[in-house]
Amino acid sequence: MFLEESSVLATPFSIGGVTIPGRLLLAPMDGFTDSPFRSMCKEHGAALCTSEFINGIDMMYGHPHLKNQLVFQDNERPFCYQIFDDDPQRLLDAGIKLAERKPDLMDINMGCSARSVSNRGAGAGLLRVPEKIKQIACSLVREVPVPVTAKIRLGWDDRSRNYLEVAKILEDCGISAITVHARTRKQGYQGTADWDAIAEVKTYASVPVIGNGDVRNVEDALRLIKHTSCDAVMIGRASLGNPWVFEGKNRENISNGELFDGMVQHLQRMTEMYSPRIGTILFRKHLARYLSEHLLTSEIRQKIFSIEEPQTLMSEIKFILEIMED
């Protein structure tokens, strides 16, 4: 029965005429979903990959970190840029500039709950100003030559759950798909995601609805689709340290050998993109999640997280995993 049910996850669907070859999508995560990580997830079955959050202000001033943040490879397609800002004109300008790089889709971030983003009126902060959402969405759909999507939350807090109003505004503007993270901004990542709210949006929307929240594995994804009839499922935090989740593997089912090989591949891609030293340092946040199932002593953690040379790091990790295997 599980195999029969899971076959739906490999069924293609369309967003604005762009074919998405499956139903499990990688969520945008700031500081994590760069090109090396996206390519890992894509190889393990992610049907759509989205960039880190791209700040409209950074686009306006040409921030140096955009050099790496905007990179994507053809093997990551279909690929989506996600942009955020509180200013409609900056968002439009950013969208037009990014479209020149020929992504397949463009997504508007209306769901980031981080205080540094939402308190300035960007991300989930936009949910407090529906008229601004209309201005932003309509202008981007009109001016950007790729399908435009949006990722939202249920509202700012429980007293202002306006997700149906926002979804209608977005659809009226011509948005091609809506991703619903089934929590409010106030909840952040706490509490239980309200899947019934995703089902409500799906009932009223005629564009694809993508469910997000409390999906830790393929079994959860199938339950979410069954519960809400959503068109696809977006997986975020559960993919960190486990890009294999997109092919249906839970973290505890990954052998140390497979884990090590995956880490080597990931680190190699990061050192190639950034530099051996910077790539190794940036890899530490991923390493912490790859090894989250292993009970490492504070001394071992301190040792491996201070290494700045990739070969030395992987040799040390291989040694640790071999000891644990014994």
Domain 2-249 has CATH 3.20.20.70: yes
153 Cα distance to chain centroid:
14
CATH 3.30.160 corresponds to the domain 255-325:
no
Nearest to 208 by CA among 234, 182, 181, 179: 179
Burial 34-45 (b: 16+ CB within 10 A, else e): bbbbbbbbbbbb
Q: What is the pLDDT of residue 4?
A: 53
- CATH 3.20.20.70 residue ranges of the chain are 2-249
Q: Which residues are catalytic?
A: 112
Question: Which residues lie below 8 Å from residue 217, measured CB to CB, with a gap of 6+?
Answer: 238, 245, 248, 250
Burial class of residue 263, CB neighbours in 10 A (0-12, 13-18, 19+):
buried
Q: What is the pLDDT along the chain (326 residues), one digit of tens a residue?
A: 344 567 889 999 999 999 999 999 999 999 999 999 999 999 999 999 999 999 999 999 999 999 999 999 999 999 999 999 999 999 999 999 999 999 999 999 999 999 999 999 999 999 999 999 999 999 999 999 999 999 999 999 999 999 999 999 999 999 999 999 999 999 999 999 999 999 999 999 999 999 999 999 999 999 999 999 999 999 999 999 999 999 999 988 999 999 999 999 999 999 999 999 999 999 999 999 999 877 678 888 899 999 999 999 999 999 888 877 75
Domain with CATH 1.10.1200 in the chain: 255-325
